[in-house]
Amino acid sequence: MKMSHIGIMVSDMDKAVEFYTQALGLKVVMGNTKVVEERETAIGRMCIAVFGEGFKGFNIAHLVTSDGIGFELFEMVDHEERHIVDFSRIGLFHFSLQTDDFEGVIKRTEELGGKVRMDIMRYHPEDDSKPAKMVYLEDPFGTLFELYSHTYEETYASDYE
């Protein structure tokens, strides 16, 4: 199994593309594109199946990480701003990225309207040979994401060097 992509709802497509490309370094594969409700194409029928009759359309953009994971950004015509994280909702909680530019990503996240949700944490602070760090951040639209300084396996493996 390989990760293909994640879909994220945003309230301002231009701001979202700016944030995800400039703060997180993603690359645009397909820029801001308007999607309308219609039944003539497979994509149109799929959107009705997913969003329901009368969804009124949306803008979509496709971005990709340096290792090929897709980020699908959706700006629905009818949307509500989100200001708090609803931890009572079952489902996707956050996504996580790993970078060699840990402090730079944190700085750019704040500069481009995102938030730092916690102090930087080391998983093994007592062991200098295991420097893995993490922090929870938030994009300008309230979507939580976790940032790692090392790979997932390095972070959690009990015997990595």
Tell me: the pLDDT tens digits for 131-140? Answer: 899 999 999 9
Which range has the worst mean pLDDT, 67-76, 81-90, 148-157?
81-90
Kindly list the distances between the CA atom of residue 5 and the CA atoms of 64, 70, 88, in Å, as whole numbers in the listed order: 8, 4, 24
The model's pTM: 0.84
- Please give the pLDDT value at position 60: 93
Domains along the chain with CATH numbers: 1-79 (3.30.720.110), 91-161 (3.10.180.10)
Q: 64-91: b or e for each residue (b if 16 or more CB lie within 10 Å)? A: ebeeebbbbbbbbeeeeeeeeeeeeeee
Instruction: Please write the tens of the pLDDT for every residue from 37-49.
Output: 888 988 888 888 8
Residues 6+ apart with CB under 8 A from 98: 147, 148, 149, 150, 151, 152
Strand pairing category for 95-98 and 144-148: parallel
pLDDT of 160 over the 60 cut: no
- Please give the pLDDT value at position 158: 65
- Which helix (H) or strand (E) segment holds residue 148: the answer is strand 144-148
Residue type at 44 in one-letter notation: G
Q: How many CB atoms lie within 10 A of CB 156?
A: 12
